[in-house]
Amino acid sequence: MAVSRAQVVDKNFSEEVARCSAAPQRLNLDQPVRADHQLTGRSAIALFESMVMSRHLDLAARDLKAEGQCFYTIGSSGHEANAAVAAASRHTDPAFLHYRSGAFFCHRASQVPGQTPVMDVLLGLTASSDEPIAGGRHKVFGSLPLWIPPQTSTIASHLPKAVGAAFTLGRQQRLGISAPVPDDSVVLCSFGDASSNHASACCAFNTASLATHQNLPCPIVFICEDNGLGISVRTPERWVADRFKSDPWIEYFGADGLDLVDTYEAACLAVAHARDTRKPAFLHLSLVRLLGHAGSDVEQLYRSTDEIVVAEAKDPLLSVARMLIEGGWLSPDDVLDIYEETRTTTAHLGTEAKARPKLQTAQEIMAPLAPRDPEAIAAEATSTVPQEARAAFFEMLPEDERPRHMAMLLNRALGDLLLKHPEAVIFGEDVARKGGVYHVTAGLQERAGVGRVFNTPLDETSILGLAIGSAQLGLLPIPEIQYLAYLHNAIDQIRGEACSQHFFAQGQFQNPMVVRIAGLAYQKGFGGHFHNDNSVAALRDIPGLVMACPSNGADAVGMLRTLMAAAKLFGQVSAFIEPIALYMTKDLHEDRDGLWSFPYPAADTHVPIGQARTWGDGTDLTIVSYANGHWMSMRVAERLRAEGIDARCVDIRWLQPLPIDDIVREAQVTGRVLVVDECRKTGGMAEPVFTALLEGCPEVKAARVTGDDTYIPLGEAANLVLVQEADIEIAARQLVAR
């Protein structure tokens, strides 16, 4: 039977330790293990124990995998010195961990009484529903008591939110908002050398540097665990060191990650720098990767046997064991006792973990995605702010103003929400002094202050990362993405980070936010594609995300109130798509009729999530649409009425979750449904609406009018591929005639 490299590494450790000669026993464990350094014998032994725990978890994962009981074998072997970073920091310093930071996790757990890190990881490896953080949904390092939000990231997509959390630590104090961690906390974020090249990582480094350049607090320690490999691809020699030493705004600290004393010293310096100066640090640990990328990785395909053997000879567990033995802190027998006792304990716990329950139903799996209580949301959404405060904030109370268009009503609603929620912040490109490209946030910075309404770098990834990080530390962010097409530059910050947090933390960590996105088409005289974008498919695909898309200002206010309440109470992540072409629309049928201008809704009104709105009571035809399509449908319905065709128009308002019951009910009233979808035929909203009709009322006659599957061109040519009122009219007549 072939011997695996894991068995070789395991055997090498025991044999090498057994060959060591015992030194005279130290009596004072509180002496430093090396002259002029901080690490004591007692601390070094504790770190070694955490390193051994991590190693045996890696070995156990492979054994469990062989039994068909484990589903994740990316381990931390060779990286175990990252335990020293945990020792150099506090358990209240938020830590966004790389998947090879197992020893960090184990050592931080040792700093908090009552923790069971080995069992927790084993439950994750075996996908048990008893696993404390993710409940068997994935193997992650995560813990609420340890302030380790779970990360599933393998490509550095967690770095932007770590920077967002660090940026928030300083801002909360200025806003008078209490943080869930001590005021002098720092944020820790670990990742691999290959991941440092990823676009998400580069965004994070740039944003942290920019904050420092502007004298804004950003106390983060970037921890690069550099083993020289990205799966099979080698990192160019000295690339990481040369690159980050040259950054004038992020202080560089390098260490030999195979030398525990050197690692601890550098980690202490890096953490102290971030804590004392409130500026970022880059801790570069030179490590070695043992046992391949993962259990399924055939390392011999890209590394020679000699290279693998040389790497295994650098085993950090072995170097620490030698240091402890040669220094007289432990005998060889002591070291082997720790190693074997940990093996035995891990094996016993592994047996128990295998027997623990697994997720059994789809409902159980999906339960954390979107836990909402409509009654609680309604109560929160309609709770009021004292009139005296509102009078002081607004020049004129919004309800006393004349009926206004959507952009103005949204502006007033955002002002009310800033008053109502002291922890709410609005940020994005151009949102502050300019008030956004469409002036939706105009005047809000002047009224609420620069700490609550502020500009960001032109980088959607960093904008959303700031939203996630700030939300996890107790703020209620309302980030703005300037155009819908720009969101696609950073969609994984919503898909893979923001919306996955509930799923992988079972609500223990939350990142509530309402992402405002100016979008959709029909802007007259403006550029195509990026400024006239009608792609919603990427958002529709995200589990747990609420998508709101109002067609008018009154609904926009009510929906925004609802989303903020859901965010505050249940950590909801929402995308609020604001149709640009309707921002300034005041009229409906004729110029100056004012029928698309609305009074500011009373404070006790809101729009429940997933509830459509029906306009009219026609019995001949039901037109189902949203946003610009609904506005056009209302105009068409008026003309059809003059011809004797009486239509009712259903504004679905919520793109996710879809108001299926409302759609089916209104379709059954007339027996004919025309779906008007201004977005693309493929991946647009007509597809799920048609599915709802087919499943809920297959007897109803249905047709659809959609945009074409194309990018949107400039000028009048855009109207050739977008739904036009004439298209709706023709389709309506044909459907009624069937």
Alpha helices, DSSP H, located in 596-737: 627-642, 660-670, 686-696, 725-737
**Residue spans of the chain under pLDDT 50:** 1
If we measure between CA atoms, which residue out of 360, 349, 341, 368 comes closest to residue 125? 349
Residue found under tokens 């977005």: 679
Q: Rounded to an integer, what distance in angstroms lies between the CA atom of residue 676 and that of residue 625?
A: 5
Residues 191, 223 contacting (CB under 8 angstroms): yes
Model pLDDT, residue 199:
94
Which two tokens mark 38?
A: 């901080």
CA dist 471 and 566 (Å) reads 13
Element (H, E) at 674: strand 672-680
Fill in the amino acid letter for 83.
A
Q: How far apart are CA 305 and CA 311, in angstroms?
A: 10
Helix axes 316-326, 5-19, angle to 10 degrees: 10
CB 587 within 8 Å of CB 665: no
Residues 6+ apart with CB under 8 A from 520: 484, 532, 533, 534, 549, 577, 579, 580, 581, 627, 628, 678, 679
Instruction: Name, in order, each residue with C-beta under 8 angstroms of 359's C-beta and a sequence gap of 6 or more.
Output: 127, 129, 135, 136, 137, 365
Which run of H or of E encompasses 426?
strand 424-428
Please give the full DSSP string across 299-319, using - where no structure is assigned. Answer: GGGTS-HHHHHHHHHT-HHHH
User: Is residue 62 within 8 Å of 295, Cβ to Cβ?
Assistant: yes
What per-residue string of b and e applies to 60-76 under the rule 16 or more CB within 10 Å gives b? bbbebbeeebbebbbbb
**CB 229, CB 288: distance < 8 Å:** no
Q: Cα angle at 356 between 354 and 358, to 5 degrees?
A: 100
Q: Which residues pair with 481 in a beta bridge?
A: 517
Tokens of 47: 């770190």
- What pLDDT, on the 0 to 100 scale, is given for residue 2? 53
CATH 3.40.50.920 fits 613-737, yes or no: yes
User: Rg of the chain over CA atoms, in angstroms?
Assistant: 29
Domain 5-20+34-356 has CATH 3.40.50.970: yes
Residue 74 amino acid letter: I
What does the domain layout of the chain look like in residue ranges? 5-20+34-356, 374-582, 613-737
pLDDT of residue 288: 94
- How many residues does this entry show for the chain? 738
The DSSP result for 393-461, as a single string, is HSSS-GGGSPPB-HHHHHHHHHHHHHHH-TTEEEEETT-SSS--TT-TTTTHHHHH-TTTEEE--S-HH
Could you give the CA distance from residue 165 to residue 176 in angstroms, rounded to a whole number?
Answer: 16
- What residues form DSSP beta bridges with 674? 623, 703
Full-prediction pTM beyond 0.75? yes
Tokens of 140: 């992650």
In degrees, rounded to 5, the angle at the alpha carbon of residue 111 between the alpha carbons of residues 26 and 63 is: 90
Contact between residue 60 and residue 125 where contact means Cβ atoms under 8 Å apart: yes
**Do 192 and 100 form a contact (C-beta atoms < 8 A)?**
yes
CATH 3.40.50.1110 fits 374-582, yes or no: no
- Pick from 567, 570, 578, 576: nearest CA to 513: 567
Helices (H) and strands (E) in the chain, counts: 27, 19
Q: What is the pLDDT of residue 3?
A: 66
Q: What interhelical angle do 117-125 and 41-66 show, nearest 10?
A: 20
The type of residue at 111 is Q
Nearest to 253 by CA among 284, 212, 286, 209: 284
Q: What is the three-class DSSP state of 210?
A: helix
374-582 and 613-737 in the same fold: yes
Integer angstrom CA distances of residue 387 from 393, 398, 565: 10, 11, 20
Transcribe 231-299 into DSSP letters: TTEEPPTTHHHHHHHT-TTSEEEEEETT-HHHHHHHHHHHHHHHHHH---EEEEEE----S-SSTT--G
Residue in 379, 399, 693, 436 with CA at minimum distance from that of residue 565: 379
CA dist 576 and 581 (Å) reads: 15
Q: What is the DSSP letter of 128?
A: B
Report in angstroms the alpha-carbon separations of 345 from 49, 104, 120, 142, 337: 13, 19, 13, 21, 12
Q: Which two tokens stand for residue 561?
A: 């109130």
Asked if residue 332 has a cis previous peptide bond (ω within 30° of 0), the answer is no
pLDDT given at position 297: 82
Alpha carbon of residue 108 to chain centroid:
23
Q: Which among 648, 659, 704, 700 has a CA at the least distance from the CA of 678?
A: 704
Q: Tokens standing for 165?
A: 């959390």
User: Which two structure tokens, joined as six digits, stand for 675?
Assistant: 């779906």
Give CA–CA dist 424/567, Å, rounded. Answer: 11
In 499-612, the DSSP E strands lie at 513-519, 546-548, 573-579
